[in-house]
Amino acid sequence: DVKVTQSSRYLVKRTGEKVFLECVQDMDHENMFWYRQDPGLGLRLIYFSYDVKMKEKGDIPEGYSVSREKKERFSLILESASTNQTSMYLCASRGTAKGYTFGSGTRLTVV
């Protein structure tokens, strides 16, 4: 089975800090995605990548950037964390035939 691993389950960061959320998948998938999930708002796409060094903005990219230097790793960066970025962050990868495989999520709290 495909495994998507997010480096942290819980993070607490201070306002203004630079935050890195890491995601690694082990099945050579081309496409990787970062979502945030907030109560009542569902899954909102932040950024996605369809190949190494390729990235596209999703629906809510403001305040975020991403990096994909290797196929298996897709990083989400909060350049200067703010309290409104407190959320559950979900990474997903996708091959050609099936839907997403999600990681376990990172619950980020910005104080």
Residues that bind other proteins (CB under 8 A): 4, 6, 30-31, 33, 40-43, 45, 48, 50, 56, 90, 94, 98-105, 107
Gap between the Cα atoms of 110 and 12, Å rounded = 6
How distant is the alpha carbon of residue 51 from its chain centre? 15
For the CB of residue 102, give the shortest distance to other proteins in the complex, in Å: 4
- Rounded Cα distance between 73 and 59, Å, is 21
In this complex, which beta carbon is closest to other proteins, that of residue 13 or of residue 30?
30
Q: Which is nearer to other proteins, 13 or 102 (CB)?
A: 102
Residues 33 and 95 sit within 8 Å (Cβ to Cβ): no
**CB nearer to other proteins: pick between 14 and 42:** 42
